[in-house]
Amino acid sequence: MPSITAIKGRIVYNSRGSKTIEIDVITDKKFFGRASAPSGASVGKQEAQSFPDDNPKKALELFTTNSKKFIGLDPADPKIIFDVLRSIDNTERYTKIGGAIAYALSIAAIDSAAKSLDVPIFKLLKPRKPYKFPFPLGNILGGGAHAGPGTPDIQEFLVCPIGAESIIEALEINFEMHKELGKVIESIDKRFTYGRGDEGAWAPNVNNDQALELIDKAIKNCGFSLGKEISLGIDLASSSLWNEKKKEYGYVRQGIKRNTQEQIDFANDLIKKYNLIYLEDPVHEEDFESMAAITKRNPKCLVTGDDILVTNTSRVKEAARSKSCSGAILKVNQTGTLYDSMKFADACTINNIKIITSHRSGESSDAHIAHIAIATDSKMLKSGVIGGERIAKLNELLRLREYDLIEGMADLSTA
């Protein structure tokens, strides 16, 4: 059995230049694992709290004081890491030690275990075939909490290369779409600065409707047809739009307000008009009932919960009971540890809710989520299109193709 022999944490910076936690785990004195925690901008209320009192230093101090407790543990067993962490912080949202520690520690441990056992991480988490590649779901245009004034209220306009027969082709379709969309934006706005939001998506000075028209044009320019090579998705990130006091969704940049029924109608219309295969958080994070209405009405679209589920096993069980979602975002740092996330994935699978493993808007250049997507049989990996911290995950998918030859890992054609 491999055994953790050294462990160390430090403060580093994420893609937004904000402080985060990085942890190194060494197994059997020589196998080095490392991970640093990502962070969100549109954060669900029930997510694990990144740092105690918003203070990374306090998180690191508590971790360092307790780090000896992890020495001698098996890094390949996410449950053991979870149990010891829980003996230090048993609060529901990791408010004492912080979700950033939970993330970085549990992922660094599995990273180090994989090296010591000389197997890829995905195989440690899911020992048996079949393995399938997720479709890359890429953010090409965005606004909301990820970009500045003048951009759309809608947080993410996403593309999914449904017609691709290999992961390489899939990535290339997304790159082509991103590039072409940049040209289309420039053609209507000579002062376009090539500005991009937190996730690398274009952040032009347009409203929601104009954004969709531009994307439609870019699809045509590329010679693609909607529903053939490519399909569209949207993350409405509705909790960021919701005003609890007024009970309405404020599309402030476009000057529109929608009550709950109007928001449901808007979501249904978007799915119909653009043949969306994916719609994330169409209503705010406590509205399981409206989610259920949208899910029921649109059986061909993955009506997906992000802020509403926060990678929380109890919440996804509740969503299964109320038939609120057909898709579930899996973000390890929303729930804390890798173990928490694998439990969540099991609950999704049992209830036939499709998993979409996802990055955060504030990311590291780590690639671990590519493995987590494969290990959880994720339908999609949502990790942007452009930007070093996004490409890191996509390039890892390409590297994992090399297991094709020896493992029989299915490429997209059979996924």
Rounded CA separation 127/197 (Å): 38
Q: In angstroms, give the least distance from the CB of 134 to ligand PEP.
A: 15
Rg, C-alpha atoms of the chain: 21
- Contact partner at residue 361 from Mg ion, ligand PEP, none, CB < 5 to 8 Å by partner kind: ligand PEP
Check residue 389 for interaction with Mg ion (CB under 5 A).
Answer: no
Closest to Mg ion by CB, 229 vs 235, is 235
Check residue 235 for interaction with ligand PEP (CB under 6 A).
Answer: yes
Interface region with ligand PEP, contact rule CB under 6 A, candidates 39-47, 71-79, 166-174, 368-376:
39-47
C-beta of residue 328 within 8 angstroms of C-beta of residue 309: yes
- Contact partner at residue 360 from ligand PEP, Mg ion, none, CB < 5 to 8 Å by partner kind: ligand PEP
Q: In angstroms, give the least distance from the CB of 276 to ligand PEP.
A: 15
Looking from the CA of 141 toward its CB, the CA atoms found within 13 Å total 31
Cβ-count burial 12-47 (b if 16+ within 10 Å, e if not):
eebbeeebbbbbbbbbeeebebbbbbbbbbbbbebb
> At CA 193, angle to CA 187 and CA 197, rounded to 5?
110
Question: Cα torsion for 343, 348, 351, 352, to the nearest 10°?
Answer: -140
- Contact partner at residue 40 from Mg ion, ligand PEP, none, CB < 5 to 8 Å by partner kind: ligand PEP
Interface region with ligand PEP, contact rule CB under 6 A, candidates 36-44, 96-104, 173-181, 282-290:
36-44
Sheet of strand 248-251: strand arrangement: 242-243, 248-251, 256-258
Question: Catalytic annotation on 289?
Answer: no
Q: Identify the residue among 205, 290, 326, 358 touching ligand PEP (CB under 6 A).
A: 358
Check residue 198 for interaction with Mg ion (CB under 5 A).
Answer: no
Q: Peptide bond preceding 130: is omega within 30 degrees of 0, i.e. cis? A: yes
Q: In angstroms, give the least distance from the CB of 332 to ligand PEP.
A: 12
Check residue 41 for interaction with ligand PEP (CB under 6 A).
Answer: yes
Check residue 360 for interaction with ligand PEP (CB under 6 A).
Answer: yes
Distance of CA 120 to the CA centre of its chain: 21
Q: In angstroms, give the least distance from the CB of 90 to ligand PEP.
A: 25
- Contact partner at residue 270 from Mg ion, ligand PEP, none, CB < 5 to 8 Å by partner kind: none
Rounded CA separation 138/159 (Å): 5
Closest CA to 16 of 50, 37, 35, 39: 39
Interface region with ligand PEP, contact rule CB under 6 A, candidates 97-105, 176-184, 308-316, 353-361:
353-361
Check residue 384 for interaction with ligand PEP (CB under 6 A).
Answer: no
- Contact partner at residue 41 from Mg ion, ligand PEP, none, CB < 5 to 8 Å by partner kind: ligand PEP
Rounded CA separation 291/308 (Å): 9
Active-site choice (199, 285, 363, 396): 199
Ranked by CB distance to ligand PEP, the top (closest) residue is: 40
Closest to Mg ion by CB, 155 vs 364, is 155
Closest CA to 42 of 344, 329, 326, 306: 306
Check residue 237 for interaction with ligand PEP (CB under 6 A).
Answer: yes
CA distances from 306 to 116, 228, 274, 400 (A): 34, 27, 21, 27
Closest to Mg ion by CB, 70 vs 249, is 249
Interface region with Mg ion, contact rule CB under 5 A, candidates 27-35, 72-80, 123-131, 274-282:
274-282
Question: Cα torsion for 15, 18, 160, 410, to the nearest 10°?
Answer: 70
Q: Identify the residue among 27, 42, 239, 311 touching ligand PEP (CB under 6 A).
A: 42
Ranked by CB distance to Mg ion, the top (closest) residue is: 306
Q: What residues numbered 11-70 form the site for Mg ion, per CB under 5 A?
A: none
Active-site choice (115, 126, 331, 379): 331
Check residue 263 for interaction with ligand PEP (CB under 6 A).
Answer: no
> At CA 394, angle to CA 390 and CA 395, rounded to 5?
110
Please tell me the total number of residues recorded for the chain in this structure. Answer: 415
Question: Catalytic annotation on 199?
Answer: yes
Check residue 383 for interaction with ligand PEP (CB under 6 A).
Answer: no
C-beta of residue 288 within 8 angstroms of C-beta of residue 318: yes
Rounded CA separation 367/395 (Å): 8
Interface region with ligand PEP, contact rule CB under 6 A, candidates 38-46, 126-134, 215-223, 252-260:
38-46
* Contacts to ligand PEP by CB under 6 A: 40-43, 145, 235, 237, 306, 358, 360-361
Active site residues per annotation? 199, 331
